[in-house]
Amino acid sequence: MDANVEHEYDAGPEVVFAMLTDAEFLRAKLEATGALEYEVVECAETPDGGFRIVTNRTVQADIPGFAKKFFKPNNAMTQTEDWEPASEGTRSGTWRIEPHGVPVSVSTSGTTRLEAVGGGSVQFIDARIKVSVPLIGGKLEHFVFDQAKKTMDAEHDFGQRWLQKEK
């Protein structure tokens, strides 16, 4: 399953990128969006001028009946983001989420791009979700996306509030 999400911010891409790569923001975001446990493992500029973020988190989900065989109510995962150096005011990168303790093959990854639009910026997130389970893999992919989208929207809302607080 392929999916696309766009999040608009009321600040320029440099300001938004500084927020997205701030370890204090990351910890506050994970707590505010309901992570039961979380850790910022890595949050640092790379030698080429890019940026790498690695977080671990355990989240709680309302698992529908058809998915209870494959997912637990509490799920641990590692998220890795690799951002490239800025290019003409735009930042691009890749991301992936690796679930822990899931008895099926789940692949969630994609690209992201942060660019100036009007007086603010937009983060474009492209995702590819693949769950390798015969017959219900597609249904599980939609479930994974719905959970991820809910989290991404909550993280975006938190980011908007963070930026307002910083003004």
Cβ burial of 29 (10 Å; 0-12, 13-18, 19+) is buried
What class does CATH assign to 2-166? alpha beta
How far is Cα 97 from Cα 52, in angstroms, rounded to an integer?
14
pLDDT given at position 103? 66
Amino acid at 13: P
In percent, the amount of the chain with pLDDT more than 70 equals 99
Question: pLDDT per residue over 91-144, tens digit each?
Answer: 999 999 998 887 677 788 999 999 999 999 999 999 999 988 878 889 999 998
Task: Please state the separation of Cα 128 from the chain's center in Å.
Answer: 13
Domain boundaries, the chain: 2-166
**What sign has the CA pseudo-torsion 71, 75, 76, 79?**
positive
How far is Cα 127 from Cα 143, in angstroms, rounded to an integer?
14
What is the model's pTM? 0.92
Question: pLDDT per residue over 93-104, tens digit each?
Answer: 999 999 888 767
How far is Cα 10 from Cα 19, in angstroms, rounded to an integer?
13
Residue 76: its H or E element = strand 74-83
